[in-house]
Amino acid sequence: MVLPLGAIACLFLIADRQFALLKSPYLLVGIFLGNAPAIAWFAAQWQRYGENFLQVNFQAQTFARLTQSVEGHSGPPWYYLIEIIKYSFPWLLFLPGSFYLAWKKRHTTWSRLIIIGTIVYLGTISLMRTKLPWYVMPIYPFLALAIGTKLSEIWQDGHFKGRSLTIFLAIISIAGLGGCVYFFIQQKPILIVMSIVLAISMGIAAWLVKQRDRNFIPVLFSGMYLVLALLMSSQSWIWELNEAFPVKPVAELIRANVSPGTQIYTSFAYDRPSLNFYSDCKVTATTMPVLQQMLFNKSYLLLDDGALQQINLTGSKIIGTAKGFTLISP
């Protein structure tokens, strides 16, 4: 991710003829301060792990991602376009007009940065064989700059196409009402309030757009930021904790009965980093034959209900159960 961003900076300096920046002491000091922690970290890792660190970090976990799907994380070339479509509403509605404006004014500094940044970065991650959702994050500042410029033009001139925008904002408002009903069933008060705020703000924005009133812009800003504030004040945004099974009760069972740093084997399909963190142990997913062998080798097991029925627990002790998982001591 660092390499394409560095390439974007260099290409932008060339395209915009900003060569004087290369002599700026502020830029040079900024580059030094920005890179110093990373260089210190790499040096410490190399000193601690030697050649193994260089081989694993740079080859197996970095450059290998360009040509192969590391750990099975793959996807089609349009993978990140789908990610942008999924997570950029309602601002995505302004994106086509924003790019058209950037191309029309491509002689300006801001448009060159948008065009170079978007094409180079999105092109690079789309061609990579390894696909992960968070690789797309650095593209959003370029999109925000493009959309912000378009909204500025709308605010100053007051000219915009209102029909399609009204329809999309109304659909989002209706989706907010649907979310309110869903979260009421799930008994999540903060998310209920979030859905109500989303429905009201999008509804008002749709009405203002229909009236050709530019004040729909501050309504969109205030509504979306309030929705995000409510989401971040809840526990629902932490996707890793809410994936598959609740982590904290299981981790509490482990912490109460197992010494920190102990190796535990689980029948769950894959590793949960949050479970390792909250239990202060290493919980490794593995197969049933290996679980049976590890039990004979005096290791702790964390088994779901299905695995508990299949494994031979002779000579072992059941410590406790939490959220469908049973902790077994040898």
Residue-wise DSSP of 103-123:
HHTTTSHHHHHHHHHHHHHHH
Residue 196 belongs to domain spanning: 170-200+212-236
Question: Domain count of the chain?
Answer: 3
CA separation for the pair 244, 325 (Å, rounded): 12
**Is the separation of the CB atoms in 160 and 154 below 8 Å?**
yes
- 261 and 230 together in one domain: no
Looking at the fold, whether 16 and 152 belong to one and the same domain comes out as yes
Q: Which residue has the higher pLDDT, 4 or 240?
A: 4
Strand order in the sheet with 282-285: 282-285, 263-266, 300-304, 325-329, 317-322
Separation CA 58–CA 191 (nearest Å): 42
Q: Is the pLDDT of residue 21 over 80?
A: yes
The string of pLDDT tens digits covering residues 88-130 is 889 999 999 999 999 999 999 999 999 999 999 999 999 988 8
- Please report the pLDDT score of residue 55 as a whole number: 80
113 is a domain residue: yes
Residues 147 and 8 in one domain: yes
Q: Residue 70: pLDDT above 90?
A: no
13/148 Cα distance (integer angstroms): 22
The CA-based diameter of the chain, rounded to the nearest angstrom, is: 79
What pLDDT was estimated at residue 100? 93
Per DSSP, the three-state class of 238 is coil
Q: Is residue 165 part of a domain?
A: no
Digit-coded pLDDT (tens) for 191-245 = 999 999 999 999 999 999 999 899 999 999 999 999 999 989 887 887 776 677 8
- Give this prediction's pTM: 0.74
- Do 187 and 279 reside in the same domain of the chain? no
Residue 32 lies in a domain: yes
**Inter-residue contact 201 to 222 (CB < 8 Å):** yes
* 25 located within any domain: yes
In this prediction, residue 271 has a pLDDT band, given cuts at 50, 70 and 90, of confident
Q: What whole-number distance in Å separates Cα of residue 216 and Cα of residue 219?
A: 5
Q: Are 12 and 150 within one domain?
A: yes
Whether residue 7 is found in the same domain as residue 103: yes
CA of residue 58 relative to chain centroid, distance: 22
- Domain-located, residue 205: no
Residue 321 confidence class, pLDDT cut points 50, 70, 90: very high
- Tell whether 100 and 174 lie within a shared domain: no
pLDDT tops 80 at residue 281: yes
Buried b (16+ CB within 10 A) or exposed e, 99-116: bebbeeeeeeeebbbbbb
Q: How far apart are CA 195 and CA 163, in angstroms?
A: 24
Query: Is 69 inside any structural domain?
Result: yes
Average pLDDT, the chain: 89
b/e for 44-74, b at 16 or more Cβ within 10 A? eeeeeeeeeeeeeeeeeeeeebeeeebeeee
Angle formed by the axes of helices 95-104 and 140-157, nearest 10°: 80
- % pLDDT > 70, the chain: 98
> Is 206 contained in some domain?
no
Residues 230 and 248 reside in one and the same domain: no
In this structure, of 81-85, 167-171, 241-245, the range with the lowest mean pLDDT score is 241-245
pLDDT band (50, 70, 90) for residue 60: low
> In the chain, where does DSSP find H-type helix?
2-15, 25-49, 51-53, 64-67, 79-87, 95-104, 109-127, 140-157, 163-186, 189-210, 216-232, 239-242, 247-257, 273-279, 288-296, 305-310
Co-location of 124 and 71 in the same domain? yes
Locate 52 and state its tokens: 């193994």
Q: Are residues 16 and 153 part of one domain?
A: yes
Indicate the pLDDT class of residue 68, thresholds 50, 70 and 90: confident
Whether 295 and 177 share a structural domain: no
Please indicate, yes or no, whether residues 98 and 232 belong to a single structural domain of this protein: no
Can you give the pLDDT at residue 81?
93
- Residue 209 in contact with residue 166, Cβ under 8 Å? yes
Residues 6+ apart with CB under 8 A from 199: 173, 174, 176, 177, 179, 180
152 in a structural domain? yes
Residue 237 has which token pair? 């945004």
